[in-house]
């Protein structure tokens, strides 16, 4: 009985340990030994058989659980390519293993695809999307959808960026061409205005010299007017003198006529005296001589009076001609005076106009000088604009090339509208230049 009691105690102790083993309070289970009772020996064998199966099952499960724990820990650390290789006789655990392995595979496939897409995106290749059908729902599907949505947004932005960069490149090219035309035109305009400024300055100098000449001409015409007035006065005096001479010639003619009459009467008287002397005979001879002399003197006086009369006629004719000439000269002096007045007024007007032209040209010259300065500044600014436009065009070209270097949907379909009229206009300007 004592031995049986000890066997029971051993079995009870083994069962206690077995219970702890089942409850995972201990990790190992010692075997029973030295059981004396035959019945208890069968019980011991049955218990040992069960414990061995349980121990084998638990050892098997411990390996599976350990691998599950390691796989889950690696999965939580981001390692998705580690799978459970041990198998279990328990269908539930086998299903769990299969489920965890499938989950890992799907995660590994999706993450590898995400990595591949992200690497493509890094290399500016946005053509491919992620397969969101790997997950039916949940955050992982939302993650894949979010990456695809990010790819779509990037594609739209790239399409917009390429289109805008192409427009910017095209417009900056036009701007560069226009800036070049502006710079060339500004330089030509500056040169033209500079030449115009020099010409206007030369014209201003000539106008100034002309104004000085007109001033001198005004002075000369004033002196000429004075001389003309003096000459007119002298002409009037000459006319008066000629009229006095004409009166004197008239009176002289009257006196000569009187002398001629006296000579004629004297000649008649001398003839009468000669007749009387001849009648008186010898006594009248001396008187006859005197009468003859008186007659001779009368004839000489008449001849002289006749000569004087001829000279006086010539003098009268010349006096009349001189008077008429003086009248004509006086009229010509009046016309000359009027013409001098008109010419003087015209010279004054020309002088005033020249003075106004000089002032206007001085103002124009100053304005052109300012325009020349501003044009030179504009030319300099135009050259700076040309440099900026060239730099902008280079930057725009680089930006366009950078945007075009990415691969995305719709890239080859992006077109921009170009302004043909502006290109033709630029071509015409280049041909003109």
Gap between the Cα atoms of 315 and 322, Å rounded: 10
pLDDT value, residue 10? 74
Q: What is the largest CA-CA distance in the chain?
A: 264
pLDDT value, residue 3? 58
Domain coordinates of the chain in residue numbers?
2-123, 187-381
pLDDT value, residue 409? 75
Which architecture, in CATH terms, is 187-381?
A: Orthogonal Bundle (1.10)
Which residues fall within 8 angstroms of residue 288, CB to CB, at 6 or more apart? 273, 274, 277, 278
What's the length of the chain? 433
3-state SS, residue 223: helix
Gap between the Cα atoms of 209 and 16, Å rounded: 141
Exposure string over 390-412, b if 16+ CB within 10 A, otherwise e: eebbeebeebbeebbebebeebe
pLDDT value, residue 241? 74
The segments of the chain whose pLDDT lies below 70 read 1-4, 22, 24, 27-38, 40-41, 44, 232, 283-285, 287, 295, 411, 419-433
pTM: 0.46
Q: What is the pLDDT of residues 107-163, one digit of tens each?
A: 788 888 888 888 887 887 877 887 777 777 787 788 888 888 888 888 888 778 778
Which residues fall within 8 angstroms of residue 218, CB to CB, at 6 or more apart? 344, 347, 348, 351
């Amino acid at each position: 009985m004592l031995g049986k009691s000890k066997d029971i105690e051993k079995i009870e102790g083994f069962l206690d340990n077995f219970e702890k083993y089942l409850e995972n309070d201990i990790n190992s289970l010692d075997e029973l030994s030295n059981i004396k009772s035959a019945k208890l020996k069968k019980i011991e064998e049955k218990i040992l058989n069960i414990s061995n199966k349980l121990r084998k099952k638990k050892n098997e499960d411990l390996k599976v659980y350990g691998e599950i724990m390691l796989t889950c820990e690696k999965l939580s650390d981001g390692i998705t390519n580690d799978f459970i290789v041990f198998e279990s006789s328990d269908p539930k655990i086998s299903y769990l293993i299969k489920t965890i392995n499938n989950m890992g595979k799907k995660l590994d496939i999706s993450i590898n695809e995400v990595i591949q897409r992200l690497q493509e995106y890094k290399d500016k290749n946005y053509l491919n999307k992620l397969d969101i059908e790997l997950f039916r729902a949940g955050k992982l599907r939302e993650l894949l959808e979010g990456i695809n949505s990010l790819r779509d947004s990037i594609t739209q932005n790239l399409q917009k960026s390429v289109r805008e960069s192409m427009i910017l490149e095209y417009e900056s090219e036009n701007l560069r061409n226009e800036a070049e035309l502006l710079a060339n035109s500004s330089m030509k305009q500056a040169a033209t205005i500079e030449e115009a400024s020099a010409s206007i300055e030369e014209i201003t100098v000539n106008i100034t010299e002309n104004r000085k000449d007109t001033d001198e001409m005004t002075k000369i015409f004033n002196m000429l007017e004075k001389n003309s007035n003096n000459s007119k006065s002298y002409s009037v005096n000459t006319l008066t003198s000629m009229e006095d001479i004409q009166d004197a010639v008239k009176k002289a003619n009257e006196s000569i006529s009187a002398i001629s009459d006296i000579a004629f009467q004297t000649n008649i008287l001398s003839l009468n005296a000669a007749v009387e002397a001849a009648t008186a005979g010898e006594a009248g001879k001396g008187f006859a001589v005197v009468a003859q002399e008186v007659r001779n003197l009368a004839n000489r006086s008449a001849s002289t009076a006749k000569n004087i009369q001829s000279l006086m006629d010539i003098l009268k004719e010349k006096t009349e001609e001189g008077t008429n000439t003086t009248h004509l000269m006086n009229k010509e002096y009046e016309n000359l005076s009027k013409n001098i007045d008109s010419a003087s007024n015209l010279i004054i007007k020309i002088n005033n106009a020249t003075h106004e032209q000089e002032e206007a040209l001085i103002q124009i010259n100053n304005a052109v000088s300012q325009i020349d300065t501003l044009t030179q500044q504009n030319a300099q600014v135009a050259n700076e604009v040309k440099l900026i436009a060239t730099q902008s065009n280079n930057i725009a070209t680089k930006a366009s090339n950078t945007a075009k270097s990415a691969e995305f949907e719709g890239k080859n379909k992006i077109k921009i509208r170009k302004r043909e009229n502006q290109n033709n206009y630029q071509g015409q300007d280049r041909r003109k230049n």
